[in-house]
Amino acid sequence: MAVITMTINDELVSGVEGQSLLSLIREQGIELPTLCHLEGLEARGGCRLCLVEMQSTQRLLPACTTTAQEGMSIQTHSERLVRYRRMILELLFAERNHVCAVCVMNGRCELQDEAAKIGMDHVRYDYLVPELPMDATHDKFAIDHNRCILCTRCVSVCDSVEGAHTWDVMGRGVNSRVITDLNQPWGSSRSCTSCGKCVQVCPTGALANKGSTVAEMVKRHDFLQWILDGREKKQWVMHNGGSEGRR
């Protein structure tokens, strides 16, 4: 494998040819938020939080879907990028009813974390307060569309890792919604294997175990790497001892 050299935030770094910009940036210990991308799932480029600035053209490119190339020079935290990230987070908070105080993921939510990290203390846009339903027909899990940020990690993991493709998206624009089967109640879904992978990868409180109440839900992402390593390398090893949840 060929080695490439490029510049991140004015520092020379080296990586492997074909590596995504996001993984190279994170290898340097630089924190870059991603709400749609999750290591192990196919890169999507939808949340636009991992946008980085090309020094040569000033163009913004999503780090998750861009391949690192020899001689590239990028900035990850320019004033413009930080301003845009905050605006995007504000837009997400305004889109649906993200009321942390009554959310099962309060304190462990990725959306909440990113907002706190960037110092988002208020939302300057109108709250759209849509009236969205919940679906608690499944035995073990429930979905609350009010918390969904349409990252479609659930769709991706269900299709590519579990192979069930229970989840998909219907509608478009701000009226999009994730659905099970052909918009049937989750509990009546015949394709759902009740594996719970969708629940574990969901960044917010949209998908949760039934029975968890405010701030009780703990999600684990490490299972994803465990399955992928097992499949590809035939090594079934849990990297962090298997006991820890996220954080």
Instruction: Write each residue from 25 to 64 as x if it is in contact with other proteins (CB under 8 A), else as -, in one continuous string.
Output: -------------------xxxxx--x--------x-x--
Q: What does DSSP assign to residue 126?
A: P
**Cα torsion at 135, 139, 141, 147 (round to 10°)?**
10
Instruction: Write each residue from 63 to 92 as x if it is in contact with other proteins (CB under 8 A), else as -, in one continuous string.
Output: --xx----------------xx--xx--xx
How far is residue 117's CA from residue 114's CA, in Å, rounded to a whole number? 5
Instruction: Decide whether 69 or 193 has the Cβ nearer to other proteins.
Output: 69
Instruction: Decide whether 111 or 161 has the Cβ nearer to other proteins.
Output: 111
Instruction: Decide whether 81 or 217 has the Cβ nearer to other proteins.
Output: 81
Contact window for other proteins (CB under 8 A) among 4-12, 22-30, 158-166, 171-179: 171-179
Interface with other proteins (CB under 8 A), residue from 9, 23, 54, 95: 95
Interface with other proteins (CB under 8 A), residue from 16, 82, 129, 169: 169
Run of H or E including 14: strand 11-16
Tokens 């050299």 locate to 5
Size of the site for other proteins (CB under 8 A): 32
> For the purposes of burial, counting CB atoms within 10 Å of the CB of 71, is it exposed (0-12), middle (13-18) or buried (19 or more)?
exposed
How far is residue 172's CA from residue 122's CA, in Å, rounded to a whole number? 27
How far is residue 206's CA from residue 214's CA, in Å, rounded to a whole number? 13
Q: What does DSSP assign to residue 173?
A: G
Alpha-carbon distances, residue 240 vs 96, 220, 237, 245 (angstroms): 34, 11, 9, 9
How far is residue 134's CA from residue 210's CA, in Å, rounded to a whole number? 12
Q: Cβ 179 to other proteins, closest distance in Å?
A: 12
Interface with other proteins (CB under 8 A), residue from 28, 176, 183, 188: 176
Interface with other proteins (CB under 8 A), residue from 41, 150, 201, 224: 150
Instruction: Write each residue from 110 to 129 as x if it is in contact with other proteins (CB under 8 A), else as -, in one continuous string.
Output: --------------xxx-x-
Q: Cβ 146 to other proteins, closest distance in Å?
A: 15
Residues belonging to the chain: 247
Cα 203 to chain centroid distance, Å, stands at: 6
Q: Which residues bind other proteins (CB under 8 A)?
A: 44-48, 51, 60, 62, 65-66, 83-84, 87-88, 91-92, 94-95, 124-126, 128, 149-150, 168-169, 171-176
